Structure 1
Amino acid sequence: MEKILISSCLLGTPVRYDGTGVQLLHPQIMTWQQQKLIVPFCPEVAGGLPTPRDPAEISNDKVITNIGDDVTAEFKLGARKALQLCQQHNIRFALLKESSPSCGRNTIYDGSHSGTKVKGMGLTAALLTQHGIEVYSEQQMPALVQALA
């Protein structure tokens, strides 16, 4: 069986910007945990950002917090560390948190900090995809399960 990179927050780990996790309760996750196939990872924490932290969104190819701090370097470092981890463990599949400026697979926030979502990918999701790793969001669990079957 293949190992899967999974956003730590989806496993309930309190690493999101607001200090919470958003545990994905899906029977397949429990099975993968029992089989020791899950590699948990939070690119934002790996990139050096604290928990909790100011919310950030992608704007003009930069990641900017709601108070105007540029955290692009931390987000890029986290993305590179995610890629290195995938390469180290021969991971070809990732399950990442939708709409995150790191992990968003199909949507991200528009950069205005107004709660508006747009089509797009977070930095980590984009980098993994560029290197041939199949990225799924928590909303695409059935497709991921099928891809791994």
Structure 2
Amino acid sequence: MLGINGTEMVILVVVALVVIGPKRLPEYAQKLRDFVRQMRRMAEGAKDSVQRDFGDDFKDVDWQKLDPRQYDPRRIVREALVEEDTAIRESKRRERSSNEFAPTSGDGGEADSSADASAAAKMREQSPIERFQAQAELRDRSTGAPFDPEAT
């Protein structure tokens, strides 16, 4: 309820007793009750008005999906990067498949160049996150992280 825990509620009640006083407290409690009831009636009226104005289109709307508190910016960025990487991989695959039919020049060093090309292609097919994780696994953990005194 409004982010107030039990201890804070007790403190608010004690402060209200001191500030308002025990004689006027029932009157203010009744006013608060009437205000809450009026707000509820207004909210229900607005909800009924929206349903009446927009018809049956909004009857089955899942309002939880539209709640901005559920969105995690990190997840959104991660998904966007994965989608972008997928599109890049698909374009590279199409490019490679079209290049397979193109004539190649025979210079004699095709075995080395094909191995280098396949390793480079494998690195290109990985997403940036996968590349970072692979580089982190290859780093020697016995030494500390690199330090640049001029950068600080």
TM over 0.5: no
**TM-score when normalising by structure 2:** 0.22
**TM-score when normalising by structure 1:** 0.22
Structure number, greater radius of gyration:
2
- Between Structure 1 and Structure 2, the one with more helix by share is 2
- Between Structure 1 and Structure 2, the one with more strand by share is 1
Which structure has the higher relative contact order (CA within 8 Å, separation 6+)?
A: 1
